[in-house]
Amino acid sequence: MRKVQAMIPKTKGRVAWESPANIALVKYWGKQPVQIPMNPSLSFVLKKSVVEINMDYVIDPDNDFKINRFTLNGKSSEPFSEKTEQYLVRLNNFFPFLKHTQLVIDSRSTFPHSAGIASSAAAFSALALCICTIDARINEKKGDGDEFMKKASHMARLGSGSACRSLYDGMVLWGETPLVSRSSGDHAIRLSDDLINNALMRLNDAILITDSSTKRVSSTHGHALMDHHPYREQRKIQSGINLEKMLAALAEGDFTAFGEVVESEALGLHGLMMLSTPPYLLMHPNTIRILEKVRMFREETAIPAYATLDAGPNIHLIYPETVKSNVLPFIEQELTPYCEGKQWIDDRMGDGPNRL
């Protein structure tokens, strides 16, 4: 014990990161131990939908690990404090100083949490960045660069699988696949710019909030139900086919092919939920109404706007920047009546996390 204490520096400080949610275009659903995706997924991060973590830390060899305060949007949050504590305890094997660290964590979210808009991805990626920054300070290493972000992506994955995809701008892949070199289940990678046509690098994402309440079935439970799912193996095959189609669409700048994969993946994800044992449904009546409206709008106008959902009832309407002037009136006039309190977020592709 004395040897361990001698290696732990006595120090204190403050670190803060803002990290974005991401939206998966090709979904992963189901896991292998430990937090490895059953199939590869592809996503991009958002600009406005972010979680900010401000972390004050005191490291002392005489301390035991403790979170002295945790707030979300200025209010105490016991459930999120417990999740954060469980996550940081899991990181003890990677960061021995955590066993002797006391923390004050104040978080802020710009969008509803636990409603299927990847709030956990934003939160755990921000937490991982904070811990990796403290580690870099202690060990006098760089707190940025490729190796730092790769490590942070690995650590974020241990909190929430999709969190590892929130570390990069552009198109981000998580999961090993022969289609992309350097791909890994341990951490996410950013697709090289030369693999993506410029026409698909300026995307908008209108997040339509049909229900901001906590969803009835958590993603963790949903993933677990894939362990014995009757379509588990077929899903692995289909996701690989869809990823190949998506990569081709990105390279060619084919927004129609891109959108077809996006919508197929979204509906396929929710189909897996409905075919689980026990079956469950996260889409709401207004979710269906918006999906129908989007399809009719596209058929009548030939404007490329496609809908996707993560594991929740809220819809992401994805469209290129070039047609925004056409899509915004459609959202305001046709879609907001089906949103909770006419609430929606006018978001777009983002630039990744920001150190504050």
Residue 72 has pLDDT above 60, yes or no: yes
**Same domain assignment for residues 327 and 280:** yes
Q: How far is CA 34 from the centre of its chain?
A: 18
Across the strands, what pairs with 354? 18
**Same domain assignment for residues 182 and 204:** no
**Same domain assignment for residues 225 and 307:** yes
Output the average pLDDT for the chain: 93
- Range list of β-strands (E), the chain: 11-26, 31-32, 36-37, 41-59, 66-72, 75-76, 101-109, 171-174, 188-190, 203-208, 306-309, 315-320, 344-348, 354-355
CATH number at residue 324: 3.30.70.890
**Per-residue model confidence as pLDDT tens digits over 177-230:** 999 999 999 999 999 999 999 989 999 999 999 998 888 888 889 999 999 999
How far is the C-alpha of 336 from the C-alpha of 333, rounded, in Å? 7
- pLDDT at 337 (0 to 100): 97
CATH number at residue 177: 3.30.230.10
**Same domain assignment for residues 173 and 243:** no
Q: How confident is the model at residue 117 (pLDDT cuts 50, 70, 90)?
A: low
Asked if 213 contacts 115 with a C-beta cutoff of 8 angstroms, the reply is: yes
CA distances from 56 to 22, 60, 131 (A): 26, 13, 11
How far is the C-alpha of 250 from the C-alpha of 7, rounded, in Å? 48
Residue 54 has pLDDT above 80, yes or no: yes
The dihedrals phi and psi of 162, each to the nearest 5 degrees, come to: -70, -15
Span 313-326, average pLDDT: 96
The dihedrals phi and psi of 132, each to the nearest 5 degrees, come to: -65, -30
Q: Does the CA dihedral 251-268-239-214 come out positive or negative? A: positive
**Same domain assignment for residues 341 and 209:** yes
**Same domain assignment for residues 240 and 146:** no
Across the strands, what pairs with 281? none
**Per-residue model confidence as pLDDT tens digits over 290-311:** 999 999 999 999 999 999 999 9
Domain end, chosen from 193, 208, 237, is at 193
How far is the C-alpha of 59 from the C-alpha of 97, rounded, in Å? 7
CA distances from 96 to 60, 64, 65, 126, 135 (A): 12, 12, 11, 20, 10
Span 284-294, average pLDDT: 97
Residue 115 has pLDDT above 80, yes or no: no
How far is the C-alpha of 328 from the C-alpha of 319, rounded, in Å? 11
How far is the C-alpha of 260 from the C-alpha of 263, rounded, in Å? 5
Span 140-166, average pLDDT: 94
Residue in this structure with the two tokens 């006018």, named with its chain if needed:
346
**Same domain assignment for residues 235 and 341:** yes
The dihedrals phi and psi of 151, each to the nearest 5 degrees, come to: -65, -45
**Same domain assignment for residues 238 and 159:** no
Q: How confident is the model at residue 12 (pLDDT cuts 50, 70, 90)?
A: very high
Residues 6+ apart with CB under 8 A from 155: 91, 94, 128, 131, 132
Residues 6+ apart with CB under 8 A from 40: 26, 28, 173, 174, 175, 176, 177, 179, 180, 183, 239, 240, 243
- For residue 174, give the amino acid letter: W
**Per-residue model confidence as pLDDT tens digits over 95-108:** 999 999 999 999 99
**Same domain assignment for residues 163 and 21:** yes
CA distances from 89 to 7, 94, 341, 348 (A): 19, 10, 39, 34
Domain limits at 133?
2-193
* Number of domains, the chain: 2
**Same domain assignment for residues 172 and 77:** yes
CA angle in degrees (0–180, nearest 5) for 27-119-18: 115
Residue 1 has pLDDT above 60, yes or no: no
Nearest to 255 by CA among 301, 309, 198: 198
- pLDDT at 212 (0 to 100): 85
**Same domain assignment for residues 286 and 185:** no
Residues 6+ apart with CB under 8 A from 333: none
